[in-house]
Structure 1
């Protein structure tokens, strides 16, 4: 087992290579499962005849599970440890994916949503375990670089997932949308049933892959880490602290992460529908989520090269926030392919926000690290709430003006980088 080490003392070395490879594989799974929703939203909107608000319940069902399950995830990890907890998370995701089969056979949207919620539950367990694991597998000042490396695994999977699933379930979506308008109710139902059944085979494969990975992780030699013990400096600073509420930089980090994840999900999950509304055929629009993820990959590579050698995590967060404000402004003032391109460019601005917020928020928590990690994972619920608000605005105003919702979110990230992460509560020693 890995000895109990604090984020400030652990050094990256050859003994950490195998754990990083395993975590990298898990981040690949995170990306693949998460970004399938970008294709599921327009797909289910057609198959289940939904409006924008109803369609974005796909994101809500998936991401709200982080809010509901993040604290229980912390309890699971305390009992099972990190490795076994990761295996439990993968099995849970497999169960959620399995629910897509009866959902498709009955064309029942609510069952799809339940499956997405169960998938998200498994992801919550995995995220609660993997992110602090990365933070303590090396010095704190280079944590954003390690998370960026994992982000590449996540982003590669996220880029290919919509292409793979989209080629199966959205291959003929444009002609189908035109065709069903002239069909009688019975013919229309038959066509939509055929469409929804296309999702069955891909999700059978996903179930099998998740089960195999769960078994491999369970049988692996992945070392355990102990975040309950602290080094002398952290222990001294936390001596009289009895509650996670005594770490305001963490709480502000949770709020900032909540807003950021909402923006990330909006950038990836709305772009296909937005492109269609800009007059771009779905057969082409289905690739734009992958373009967003390619932008994120480019940003991760910059982070790996530049952090902390050339820029600090704080500086990276400031730059990313400003870029987000610039790109969304251009998207709002342009049209067609140009506007859609700058929505995709939000992937570049988003790439270093998560890797920067996480280590800044978790810094100095010591024995409170698992609880703090649970709260940060809970903040992923921003991906449930904010895209749903976007869908409401898109239905009641228009899809372009709805993007105004991301501006205060980027502003919040800039404020956290400038001021929020520095706030500490001093406690008197007994």
Structure 2
């Protein structure tokens, strides 16, 4: 949390200098802190209670996450990008000197929001420090089993499981970012005004928030986290096909609805991937899995490349193999768990 706060603080000199690489450095530092946080918090929440309710607990985290994600573009858009269409026209009409002064003013608008974020992150960090959260300690039996596996090199057999989980997170975060971050440009592609398109991400996040709420309410009462993962992946395939083949602005609706399909993917991967692990294997698995977040950086670039060689709409076909992999992962992981239980029996 403190590393994230330091990254937000870098936005102040970046805005004062209006130096883009410094903005990128700030984002990099924030991303570093986020990755460390996720590496710790996801296995912690997974192990903090009934394993069958792990996806429910992560869904509750997701509600807070996406609610903030919905508000952020609205608030920052209202502060920084208000009357954005008129702003672009204004900048084009200004002389070079006046344009520089106006751009400086716009850059300075980000200082206060990021100062507030820095303060909030620091407050949360010190709140966590003194909250006395319970430590998750494996039982003696779990430690003995994991130690035996490590000594006999049986732990190496988990590497394949970890890599499947890594790939599942890689494609899951990739489809989440594509659905959320490309929808604005996709709206512009279909002729939507920038003043409207800048807020389209909030619709994707709102549908994702709805999925998180339903997950928190109905897992495992009405549906298991494994089935929720499978059905969400299948729904993602259906919505992607509709987005690609429905013509015009109507297809934007299905990109926004992908947020609903994506909601239960992240919460359900963690209990699937970390099932039965503790000690060193749990730490190793979490570290490998969290690196799958790189999918959110790489797959949008692939989407961008596909949109240039085809168009923005057809490029969404990239999502199909991603969802298909998650279907395979859920079926194979569940089958291995059943086979392992039968063997022990």
**TM-score normalised over the length of structure 2:** 0.90
The answer for the alignment partner of 2:302 in structure 1 is 389
Give the CA deviation at 1:181: 3.1
RMSD, aligned α-carbons: 2.4
Q: Name the residue aligned to 1:165.
A: 76
Q: Shift in Å at residue 229 of structure 1?
A: 5.5
The aligned counterpart of 1:124 is: 35
Partners of 1:234 and 1:364 within 8 A in 2 = no
Compare 307-316 and 348-357 and name the one that shifted more: 307-316
Q: Map Cα deviations across residues 50-83 of structure 1 (whole Å, 9 max, x no partner).
A: xxxxxxxxxxxxxxxxxxxxxxxxxxxxxxxxxx
- Residue 88 of structure 2 corresponds to which residue in structure 1? 177
Name which of 227, 236, 258 aligns with 1:315: 227
Matched, 1:334 2:246: yes
Residues 228 and 369, structure 1, Cα contact 8 Å, conserved in 2:
no
Higher helix fraction: Structure 1 or Structure 2?
A: 2
Deviation at 1:240, TM superposition (A): 5.3
Distance 1:107 1:389 in 2: 29
Which consecutive aligned stretches of 4+ in structure 1 deviate over 6 angstroms post-superposition? none
Question: 1:89-168 maps to which residues of 2 (within 5 A)?
Answer: 90-168=1-79
Return the offset for 1:121.
1.0
| 1:206 and 2:117 aligned | yes
Q: TM-score, normalised by structure 1?
A: 0.73
The verdict on how the C-alpha distance between 1:327 and 1:242 changes in structure 2, with shifts beyond 3 A counting, is same
CA distance in 2: counterparts of 1:234 and 1:338, whole angstroms: 54
Deviation at 1:251, TM superposition (A): 1.9
Q: 2:257 aligns with which of 338, 345, 366?
A: 345
CA distance in 2, matches of 1:169, 1:104: 12
Residue 132 of structure 1, CA deviation: 0.9
Q: Measure how far apart 1:228 and its partner are.
A: 8.3
Measured in 2, the distance between the counterparts of 1:389 and 1:331 equals: 18
| CA 347–311 in structure 1, closer or farther in 2 if over 3 Å, else same | same
Q: Mind listing any 5+ residue stretches in structure 2 that lack a counterpart?
A: 341-345
For structure 1, list consecutive stretches of 5 or more residues without a partner in the other structure: 1-89
Pair 1:244–1:182, CA change in 2 (3 A): farther
**1:185 deviation in Å?**
3.5
Q: Are the aligned partners of 1:275 and 1:336 in contact in 2 as well (CA < 8 Å)? A: no
Q: Distance in 2 between matches of 1:215 and 1:169?
A: 30
Determine if contact 2:174/2:297 at 8 Å carries over to the other structure.
Answer: yes
Residue 193 (structure 1) aligned with residue 101 (structure 2): no
How many equivalent pairs are there?
Answer: 337
> Equivalents in 2 of 1:258, 1:334: separation in Å?
27
Q: What residue number does 2:321 align with?
A: 408
8 A Cα contact 1:229 1:366, kept in partner: no
Q: Secondary structure at the match of 2:136?
A: coil
CA contact (8 A) 1:249 1:421 kept: no
Instruction: State the Cα distance separating 1:97 from its structure 2 match.
Output: 0.5
Are 1:257 and 2:173 matched, yes or no?
Answer: no
